[in-house]
Amino acid sequence: MKTSLFAGAVVLVTGLVFSAHAALIGTITHDYGFDKHAPSHMNYGGYCGSLHTDYFQVVRPSLSTCATGSSFHDAFDFSHLAFEEITSFELTLNHQFSNGVWVVRPGASRFAASDDINLFNAFLSDRRLSSSQQIVTYTFTSSLDVFDDIVSSGSFYLWFSRFSGTNNFNLYSATLSVYGTPASDTTPVPAPATLALLGLGLLGLRLRRR
């Protein structure tokens, strides 16, 4: 009985600890194609791609057709989500890709994207599109250089940068998942000191009853 009581208390404490972890606040999915979703850059005269029945074809940029502000980007507006804090984003892409080095670049606007990817680290980047996967998920935390700007703007912009290869690729869908603390979550989270005192108290109770 004592063992069961102690085990139950441990489970309770563990549950309280994990309740402090980030929760899913909401998701936004863009399914590309005619009569579906068109990337936001098309609203600004963008020519870096073409819309098809069930996908958007992202073409390799060139100075003559893709100037800053008109190259591919797509905005995910999460300002309608109720949250107290955002701790990370997950971006899931469904795409058909063959070769070359293309890298996902998050942005906070249609003019400014992350600048921590360059020619030298793109080949080894964990944001590089892979020809062996059609569905892949990328995670972005506060270590991203534009993370705070994305949170404050309430919009996550999807950019792509090409570093080698001549092929285009097809983007079928993109889903942004937002993690953090929901505004509606009123469950108090015990402070670390409170959890420590509770643990010591349970341990003392067990030792006393032996």
Query: Domain residues of the chain, as ranges?
Result: 1-20+189-210, 22-185
Percent of the chain at pLDDT above 70? 72
Higher pLDDT, 134 or 182: 182
Q: Is 52 left (phi over 0), alpha (psi -120 to 50) or beta?
A: beta
Q: What is the pLDDT of residues 137-155, one digit of tens each?
A: 999 999 999 999 999 999 9
Helix (H, G, I), strand (E, B) or coil at 101: strand
Total-model pTM: 0.76
pLDDT band, very low/low/confident/very high, at 11 (cuts 50, 70, 90): very low
Q: Which of 19-23, 80-84, 111-115, 189-193 has the lowest mean pLDDT?
A: 189-193
Q: Is 102 exposed, middle or buried (0-12, 13-18, 19+ CB in 10 A)?
A: buried
pLDDT band, very low/low/confident/very high, at 17 (cuts 50, 70, 90): very low
pLDDT computed for residue 18 by the predictor? 42
pLDDT band, very low/low/confident/very high, at 48 (cuts 50, 70, 90): confident
Higher pLDDT, 198 or 164: 164
Look up residue 173 and give its two tokens: 């869908």
pLDDT computed for residue 165 by the predictor? 72
| Contact (Cβ atoms closer than 8 angstroms) between residue 197 and residue 137 | no
Query: Which DSSP helix (H) or strand (E) runs through 203?
Result: helix 192-209
Q: How far is CA 45 from CA 17, 50, 61, 62, 68, in A?
A: 49, 12, 14, 15, 11
Distance (Å, whole) CA 178 – CA 208? 46
pLDDT computed for residue 19 by the predictor? 44
Highest mean pLDDT among 63-67, 101-105, 120-124: 101-105
Highest mean pLDDT among 33-47, 53-67, 80-94, 115-129: 80-94
- For 22-185, CATH number out of 1.10.260, 3.20.80, 2.60.120, 1.10.132 equals 2.60.120
pLDDT computed for residue 119 by the predictor? 76
How big is the chain, counted in residues? 210
- For residue 91, list its beta bridge partners: 138, 176
Distance (Å, whole) CA 47 – CA 163? 19
Distance (Å, whole) CA 204 – CA 45? 69
